[in-house]
Structure 1
């Protein structure tokens, strides 16, 4: 995949990401329901992010079953490194929950709803039944839509929760730009065929749609108009 192909993927995403930004803006709307929505966000994002390292490890393992695929070796190497970079980020969300007054067990003790399973589970399907390169589309969306700088400060101010409750938002705002640049370099250097390029794009577009749905559900949840306890 050439640098121009990376630019093409980013162009495709730029056409649909306004949907994601609009959903995020509704979720972070300033009103009395914001503390409750933030608690919902922590639970939902923990359900998503706890799957990140297992997804990358599974995709890397699948790559290792494709010894004659020229994409597999560099992809596996990237995924192993990136898995270590992401390891423990789900624990950040548990710490944020505790700082916000929510027992961490409320994040871990709930079965993920179908829309979260659809967001994450599609990646398992493509890894197992198509090609692990699909995961790059998922990563491109999640890391290409990092929280805005200053969001953690605004949320602390408007919810009344302590700044320590927003460490994951703050840290991802700082880290994900660099990770996106690394990903673009990888995609630009991989010798992807047409089917693989299409799979990365389909995965990315699915991720945008599913993540926007997740944010919309948080924004419109029944408790969203209530303050968190």
Structure 2
């Protein structure tokens, strides 16, 4: 391939929707990484991991309902919207792939010695409500395509393959307490590849790409806020100390 052809190919690749979205998310990566490092610091790791599991359950239990609602909105938009058909099919398929993952987190909590019933009775924190709630707003009052930014940000910040072993060593909890961390470290890379393919196949307008990017950056900011909140260990005597609320 000539240098000119190679440059043209590179420019074409750089202009794809998936690459553009990754570039936007890269802007938020330092903050997310710093919050993640604070979350997984060794001191107080055991109780903090339980709080992480609780928060992830509260967040992930919204994933399938969000995708199902977005798929319904796609059906309502109908064939007049060229994005709605393929987007709806993707969302229905991905919802099935994600179904039951919230139950994994309840099982992890039980294996770690916590009471899942206590979690289910607790009010989710504002950071969780804001993460999922913004998506409901955009699905209902703008366009369900915005949800792709949420998916990209969450799955783009999946646990590292080594994290489960590090957490097990640092907490002393049994292997059964880390199923969700292990599974998502393996699954989310494939999910991101499917999302990239969809983004590059959809006939996205500039406005649709902007909505996806805004959703992704909002989600990355929300993850950062959530992780920093979890990283801030409760003061002695706080009723949430060592618990799942």
Q: Shorter-normalised TM-score: what interval?
A: over 0.9
Counterpart selection for 1:191 from 188, 199, 203:
203
Matches of 1:90 and 1:221, distance apart in 2 = 24
Matches of 2:19 and 2:194, distance apart in 1 = 14
Aligned to 2:174: 162
**Would you say 1:48 and 2:59 are equivalent positions?**
yes
Counterpart selection for 2:95 from 56, 62, 83:
83
Runs of 4 or more off by more than 3 Å in structure 1? 226-229
Aligned to 1:200: 212
**Would you say 1:182 and 2:194 are equivalent positions?**
yes
Contact 1:16/1:208 (<8 A) preserved:
yes
Which runs of 5 or more residues in structure 2 are unaligned?
A: 1-12
Give how far 1:227 is off.
8.4
Matches of 1:209 and 1:135, distance apart in 2 = 15
Aligned to 1:66: 77
Matches of 2:82 and 2:224, distance apart in 1 = 34
* Range 14-23 or range 215-224, more displaced: 215-224
Give how far 1:6 is off.
1.6
* 2:154 alignment partner, SS class: helix
Give how far 1:214 is off.
0.1
CA deviation profile, 1:185-214 (whole Å, cap 9, x unmatched): 000100011111100000000000011000
Contact 1:62/1:128 (<8 A) preserved:
yes
Give how far 1:12 is off.
1.2
Contact 1:97/1:103 (<8 A) preserved:
yes
Contact 1:36/1:223 (<8 A) preserved:
no
Matches of 1:39 and 1:106, distance apart in 2 = 12
Aligned length: 227
CA deviation profile, 1:31-67 (whole Å, cap 9, x unmatched): 1x11111111011110000000000000000000111
Give the TM-score normalised by the residue count of structure 2. Answer: 0.89
Matches of 2:149 and 2:197, distance apart in 1 = 14
* 2:110 alignment partner, SS class: helix
Instruction: State which structure, 1 or 2, has the greater radius of gyration over its C-alpha atoms.
Output: 2
Give how far 1:108 is off.
1.1
Over the aligned positions, Cα root-mean-square deviation in angstroms equals 1.7
Matches of 1:185 and 1:143, distance apart in 2 = 15
Counterpart selection for 1:100 from 92, 100, 112:
112
Contact 2:234/2:241 (<8 A) preserved:
no
Aligned to 1:138: 150
In the TM superposition, 1:29-48 aligns within 5 A as 29-31=41-43, 33-48=44-59
Matches of 2:52 and 2:121, distance apart in 1 = 15
